[in-house]
Amino acid sequence: MERIESLTNRNVIRWNRLHEKKGRDEAGRFLVEGDHLIAEAMKAGVVETIITDDDADFRFPHTVSVSAAVMKKLSRNVSAVHHMAVCRMNEQAIVNNHRLLLLDGIQDPGNLGTLIRTAVSFSFDGIYLSPDCCDVYNEKTIRSTQGALFTIPFVRTDLEDAVSRLQDAGVTVYATALDASIPFGEVQEGSQMAFILGNEGQGVHPRLQKLADQRIRIEMQGFESLNVAVAGGIVMYRFRVQ
């Protein structure tokens, strides 16, 4: 097993760059921390290197032992971790259209991670993200997904084009909106449905609202809107695949 103790080792420097989006995009790699996320990544077949500062036997072909100082330099977790993995980005095509999520300009990594996790929990087929959504491979996003990141396909694309393509394929597209919308309870369940959720501050872009087949709102009292991850959870539960 390879052993690294120097903080200036070229691999340590290379791995540390994966904490920045630019570094991840250039390398096509990202980091996960902790046993649960590593196990999920290994199931998905995307692990390239295991990094550990203890004697755990991962039975993985490329495992690197590092000093506690190196692990501390690499980790961004508030709690001490002893295992990390370098993973390959592996975006997959979305092949089924029964239930889809379209995310328009989500900025908070925690919200994005929660939406991904919820989509998996309620058997959604895939997620389309607008180009200005926050990074799926951000550490906070990854932790929030609890490994769901590895079990659902997602595509970063222009959502106006995605809406048109989905409608051509027979998918009914709904945009969450306050104005000119019907109550959530009046929506009829269909065989192919897609739901657009918008930016935390601005909501779904007006152009996307116009393109959607129907605007819908969640009925509530006392407030006009909910946190986007909460709203998404309500929508996905209501129209989950059973």
Strands (E) in the chain, as ranges, are 2-4, 29-33, 47-52, 63-66, 83-88, 99-104, 126-129, 154-156, 172-176, 182-183, 193-198, 214-217
- DSSP symbol at 203: B
Q: How far apart, in whole angstroms, are the C-alpha atoms of residue 56 and residue 113?
A: 28
Tokens of 115: 């939406």
Q: Specify the pLDDT at position 224.
A: 64
Question: Which residues of the chain register pLDDT less than 50?
Answer: none
Backbone angles phi, psi at 106, to 5 degrees: -65, 130
Q: Count the neighbouring beta carbons within 10 Å of the beta carbon of residue 1.
A: 10
Of 135, 207, 200, 196, whose CA–CA distance to 166 is shortest? 196
Residue labelled with tokens 């120097």: 6
Q: Specify the pLDDT at position 233.
A: 96
Strands (E) in 71-189, as ranges, are 83-88, 99-104, 126-129, 154-156, 172-176, 182-183
Q: How far apart, in whole angstroms, are the C-alpha atoms of residue 102 and residue 85?
A: 29
Which whole-number Å values give the CA distances from 33 to 39, 76, 78, in the listed order?
10, 8, 11
Kindly report, residue by residue over 37-85, the tens digit of the pLDDT. Answer: 999 999 999 999 999 998 777 778 899 999 999 999 999 887 788 999 9
Q: How far apart, in whole angstroms, are the C-alpha atoms of residue 88 and residue 90?
A: 6
Name the pTM for this structure: 0.92
Q: Specify the pLDDT at position 1.
A: 75
- Give the contacts of 70 (CB within 8 A, at least 6 positions apart): 4, 5, 6, 7, 9, 12, 53
